[in-house]
Structure 1
Amino acid sequence: MDHIPIDYPTLRVIWWLLLGILLIGYAIMDGFDLGVGALLPFVARNDSERRVVINTIGPVWEGNQVWLVLGGGAIFAAWPPLYAVSFSGFYLAMILILLALILRPVGFKFRGKVENRAWREIWDWCLFIGGFVPAVVLGVAVGNVLLGAPFAIDDNMRPSYNGNFFQLLSPFAVLCGLVSLCMLVTHGAAMLNMKTEGPVAARSRLYGRYAALGTVVLFALAGLWVAFALKGYTVTSTQDMAGPSNVHFKQVTTETGAWIGNYGRHPWMIVAPVLGFLGSLASFVLLSGRRSVLAFLCSAVAILGVISTAGLSLFPFLLPSSIDPQASLTVWDASSSHTTLWIMLLATCFFLPIILLYTAFVYRVMRGTVTADSLGRNPNAY
């Protein structure tokens, strides 16, 4: 439309970038919550230590989950076909994530209600599930995006999904789930090292180093699998980048190694996997040297690199179809209208800085280490 100062193709790319930023933001901000939850039974050996671990994330986890809501909202408003296919086809996987996430607030609130060891251990394991399960399943979801989902879209743009939950658990998808788990456990361990002292911090450094090395090895294995064994997707016809959203206006082929094609066409993209490897290796070194803040920042860089690697490999695809490649959703044929993207961009430019400023304020107020003594002085502690 003439009155919109940004053309349709540019807006589509901007919203692709914004979706990536929101997903990376969620992985960084809520990722250490998930990592801390997954580490809880291993880094804390008694009730006092467990309370310390829980209270490192207790004041901030709710705010961190806002990034997940923002990501889901962005998919709903900017990429309606993607929302329709993914939220229906991956329904059981998403329910599993939500049920696990629900265990977190319940565990936080109920754990301290009864002075009983068995009671508290039950909720400690619920908090573990609330961290472990989403960390794995989110990675499995990314793996299935790279594999392609079994969906089709008819002439009236109505999607139909032809898979089941257990098809999501292919070997490659499980490998991606393990990459995600190691990556977020490293991030959680770096946070614990920064926010705790004594035995808890020492154990978090140990597990964090193992997880960082696991991230490097598994990420490399996944990259080799993508390059030499996994079929990727390529658009072989011309797409109208400013045309209406209709998946039937293109031709798509599949070929082993196609997902690394973007790196040959745009060599600068190699920065993404390099950041994934270097961030993880730096986290390993810095955790060994007890450089807690830098280790946390480097684990965040690793998350940025790993997720960016997947996104750049896929571009311009958002969600390929494994049973009907022509139905695959791309940046150019699965977006909302020009006007909708523009109005949403204006709203985002207004609200996102507010969210960032509020988040920064909260973290400034909640700064400092968590100790058993500080919990004794805080009547609001978990």
Structure 2
Amino acid sequence: MILSELIDFETLRVIWWVLVGLLLIGFALTDGFDMGVGALLPFVAGTDVERRVAINTVGPVWEGNQVWFILGGGAIFAAWPPLYAVSFSGFYLAMFVILAALIVRPVAFKYRSKREDPVWRERWDWALFAGGAVPATLFGVAVGNVLLGVPFHLTPDLMARYDGSFLGKFIGLLRPFALLCGVVSISMLLMHGAAWLSVKAEGPVKDRARAIGVKAGLIAAGGYALAGLWLAMGVEGFAFAGEVVTDGPSNPLLSEVVRGGSWLDAYGARPWIMVAPIMGFAGMALAILGLKAGREVSTLLFSKLGILGVISSVGLTMFPFILPSTVDPNSSLTVWDASSSHLTLFIMLVCTAIFLPLILMYTAWVYRVLWGKVTEDDVTGNSETLY
């Protein structure tokens, strides 16, 4: 028996849908507070020393946290090639802006403290702000557009074609519902960054972060609720019109998909997925209360719970759709028709089973070694401080 036959094609597709989701959630839970701290930097720190305190809370870990983003992108490329091709083609300019911001961020970390010139440092501080706020917002806008559907269609030879000009495709992403999702995303990560600063910082930086984090959490929770109402009342969903082949070839054009109804119909068909939005609202509410009360570790954990619930709710609501098409619903990409081959998914799963635990153990060890607060004395009296 071939080893790959131990797990059927349908199960492997679901496993990789779950794994890609977990990798992207891992990125949001870890690098999310890095981006949140960067976006908070101009507002929580009034002096150069305070800004250095904030920066040094994430300085030692931000590079490791980006591993989850790289793993997520690589997993999409290998496990879901059509999704990678179609999404990066349609979101090309948005992806370019995100990558530019993520490239500026490490440069700012490395060069900010090379000179003591206040103007020099202020410019790099705003670069850190952009490196946090821009990706945090555009990731949410991208999720909003996935829920709305994207204007592409597949040719008979499965080449993706988008309507509109190059610039028009980017402007077309800035739809009201997508912008609302962007607000939810940036405010949620601001709350997460504030929760991280409440654990790692002291004094005025911590106090300002808590105050801003409470407001950001309220905006995130309110925006998330509004997005749910919008989905229920103003956004059409997608559904299969006929029998679904879950272990067939990866060719979206072989399925018949129609628009209609609501994405939230999924909660009637699979009531158990209600656990995701419950986690989202509960996690954000408890994080807000924790920030107000001055609690530290529990607040960070509740913030992570809220992010987990919010992101999970999108994937579970849309399942099995991954990237629906508004131009030709039959071109929509789903879990059942946009994956790599059975053998490819199995080999990737074996590699993941070996290396992912090693990454998790190393990450846990790094956080244990670097645990503790960053104080003003640390950044002014320690010549080995990098940032």
> TM-score higher than 0.5 here?
yes
Aligned counterpart, 2:256: 251
Q: Distance in 1 between matches of 2:178 and 2:243?
A: 31
Q: Which amino acid aligns with 2:251?
A: N
Extract unaligned runs of 5+ from structure 1.
none
Aligned counterpart, 1:311: 315
Q: Which amino acid aligns with 1:247?
A: P
CA RMSD of aligned residues (A): 1.0
Please give the secondary structure, in 1, of the residue aligned with 2:243.
coil
Q: Which amino acid aligns with 1:230?
A: V
Corresponding position: 1:295 with 2:294: no
Q: Distance in 2 between matches of 1:215 and 1:260?
A: 20
Aligned counterpart, 1:38: 39
State the Cα distance separating 1:380 from its structure 2 match: 3.5
Q: Distance in 1 between matches of 2:46 and 2:247?
A: 58
How far does the alpha carbon of each residue in 1:218-276 deviate from its partner, in whole angstroms, 9 at most, with x for none? Answer: 0000000001111111111112111111111111111242x111111111100100111
User: Given that residues 227 and 256 in structure 1 are in contact (C-alpha distance below 8 angstroms), is that contact kept between their aligned partners in structure 2?
Assistant: no
Q: Distance in 2 between matches of 1:146 and 1:373?
A: 48
State the Cα distance separating 1:212 from its structure 2 match: 0.8
- Which residue among 335, 341, 345 is the counterpart of 2:339? 335
Q: Distance in 2 between matches of 1:50 and 1:102?
A: 20
User: Given that residues 316 and 330 in structure 1 are in contact (C-alpha distance below 8 angstroms), is that contact kept between their aligned partners in structure 2?
Assistant: yes
State the Cα distance separating 1:162 from its structure 2 match: 2.0
Q: Distance in 2 between matches of 1:262 and 1:197?
A: 45
Aligned counterpart, 2:115: 114
Aligned runs of 1:1-382 on 2, under 5 Å?
3=3, 4-163=5-164, 164-257=169-262, 259-375=263-379, 376-382=381-387
How far does the alpha carbon of each residue in 1:330-379 deviate from its partner, in whole angstroms, 9 at most, with x for none? Answer: 00000000000000000000010011011111111110000111122251
User: Given that residues 105 and 131 in structure 2 are in contact (C-alpha distance below 8 angstroms), is that contact kept between their aligned partners in structure 1?
Assistant: yes
Count of residue correspondences:
381
Q: Which amino acid aligns with 1:67?
A: W
State the Cα distance separating 1:124 from its structure 2 match: 0.5
State the Cα distance separating 1:294 from its structure 2 match: 0.5
How far does the alpha carbon of each residue in 1:108-150 deviate from its partner, in whole angstroms, 9 at most, with x for none? Answer: 1111111111111111011000000000000000001001111
After TM superposition, the runs of 4+ consecutive aligned structure 1 residues lying more than 4 A away are: none
Q: Distance in 2 between matches of 1:294 and 1:255?
A: 42
Q: Distance in 1 between matches of 2:61 and 2:126?
A: 20
Q: Percent identity?
A: 58
Q: Distance in 2 between matches of 1:340 and 1:370?
A: 45
Extract unaligned runs of 5+ from structure 2.
none
Q: Which amino acid aligns with 2:121?
A: R
User: Given that residues 229 and 256 in structure 1 are in contact (C-alpha distance below 8 angstroms), is that contact kept between their aligned partners in structure 2?
Assistant: no
The TM-score normalised by the length of structure 2 is 0.97
State the Cα distance separating 1:23 from its structure 2 match: 0.7
How far does the alpha carbon of each residue in 1:143-198 deviate from its partner, in whole angstroms, 9 at most, with x for none? Answer: 01001111111111111122410000000000000000111001000000100111
User: Given that residues 153 and 331 in structure 2 are in contact (C-alpha distance below 8 angstroms), is that contact kept between their aligned partners in structure 1?
Assistant: yes
User: Given that residues 20 and 311 in structure 1 are in contact (C-alpha distance below 8 angstroms), is that contact kept between their aligned partners in structure 2?
Assistant: yes
User: Given that residues 239 and 249 in structure 1 are in contact (C-alpha distance below 8 angstroms), is that contact kept between their aligned partners in structure 2?
Assistant: no
User: Given that residues 228 and 256 in structure 1 are in contact (C-alpha distance below 8 angstroms), is that contact kept between their aligned partners in structure 2?
Assistant: no
State the Cα distance separating 1:303 from its structure 2 match: 0.5
User: Given that residues 44 and 50 in structure 1 are in contact (C-alpha distance below 8 angstroms), is that contact kept between their aligned partners in structure 2?
Assistant: yes
User: Given that residues 378 and 385 in structure 2 are in contact (C-alpha distance below 8 angstroms), is that contact kept between their aligned partners in structure 1?
Assistant: no
Please give the secondary structure, in 1, of the residue aligned with 2:172.
helix
Q: Distance in 2 between matches of 1:181 and 1:191?
A: 15
The TM-score normalised by the length of structure 1 is 0.98
Q: Which amino acid aligns with 2:126?
A: W
